[in-house]
């Protein structure tokens, strides 16, 4: 099976097509930035972009990504990603850091789709991302700051 990850085609041989994308990324492509959290698409640690949209890779079979473009935290780039990274650092968002790749991927997708999000937009986009350290106020402030920087 061939999948497109981070602008490159990768052949993954001898796997069950029901294997979650997360394990193909981590175990076969050795991309460790996308994290396993819950395995049930509830926490957001495994968030990647599928054709620019945030998806939970822990519950997405690799058979469902054929013909799609997958972007992981290792390759997310561009002005929106840079604004999010800068704001994340400015607001010292990361605490333990485990959820941060998923948080960042969701924030980048939000600001790509809605450059000037309302508080409700932020809540809706980020509601599926859990932070056990409770850095939600810093995440919100960073998203608002990134949006302003892009504005």
Render pLDDT for 64-113 as a digit per residue (tens, 0 to 9): 999 999 999 999 999 999 999 999 999 999 999 999 999 999 999 999 99
Which is nearest to 85 in space by CA: 65, 100, 96, 63?
100
Q: Whole-angstrom Cα distance, residue 49 to residue 118?
A: 22
Quote the tokens at residue 2: 């061939």
**CATH class label, 2-71:** alpha beta
Average pLDDT of the segment spanning 135-148: 98
CATH match for 79-150 among 3.90.180.10, 3.40.190.10, 1.10.150.120, 2.60.40.180: 1.10.150.120
Chain CA centroid to CA 21, Å = 13
Strand 69-71, strand 2-5: pairing: parallel
Quick one: pLDDT at residue 145? 98
pTM, 2 dp: 0.96
Residue 89, SS3 per DSSP: helix
Quick one: pLDDT at residue 5? 98
Q: What is the DSSP letter of 25?
A: I
């Amino acid at each position: 099976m061939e999948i497109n990850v981070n602008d490159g085609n990768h052949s993954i041989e001898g796997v069950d097509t029901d294997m979650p994308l997360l394990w193909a990324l981590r175990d076969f492509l050795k991309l460790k930035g996308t994290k396993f959290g819950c395995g049930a698409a509830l926490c957001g640690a495994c968030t990647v972009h599928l054709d620019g949209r945030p998806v939970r890779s822990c519950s997405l079979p690799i058979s469902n990504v054929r013909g799609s473009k997958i972007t992981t935290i290792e390759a997310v780039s561009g002005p929106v990603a840079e604004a999010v990274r800068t704001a994340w650092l400015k607001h010292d968002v990361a605490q333990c850091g485990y959820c941060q790749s998923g948080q960042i991927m969701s924030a980048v997708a939000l600001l790509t789709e809605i450059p000037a999000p309302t508080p409700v937009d932020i809540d809706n986009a980020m509601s599926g991302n859990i932070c056990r350290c409770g850095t939600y106020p810093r995440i919100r402030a960073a998203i608002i700051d990134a949006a302003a920087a892009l504005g």
